[in-house]
Amino acid sequence: MMFPLARNALRSFKIRSIQQIRARQSHKKHSPDFHDKYGNALLASGITFCAVAWIFAATQTGIKWNLSPVGRVTPKEWNDD
């Protein structure tokens, strides 16, 4: 009879102490880390860099972008030598 009472008391004590620890941790101020400080700026600068690089490659390098060869490629004459 004493065993279940002691077990329940111990269990409630553990639960209460866990809840108190979590309450203390949730009230503690969260100090910003690297991602909090610079994450959005790095993401925006990376997107900007990629966009500028692609725009430069598409307009300034003179690459022919997947133009169809239909109508421009003519077969060579057959040689029976």
Q: Residue 68: its pLDDT value, please? A: 73
- The pLDDT of residue 61 is 82
Report domain extents, the chain.
Answer: 34-58
In this prediction, residue 42 carries a pLDDT of 95
DSSP string for the chain: -HHHHHHHHHHHHHHHHHHHHHHHHHHSPPPP-HHHHHHHHHHHHHHHHHHHHHHHHHHHS----S---TTT--PPPP---
37-79 pLDDT per residue, tens = 999 999 999 999 999 999 998 888 887 766 777 777 777 788 7
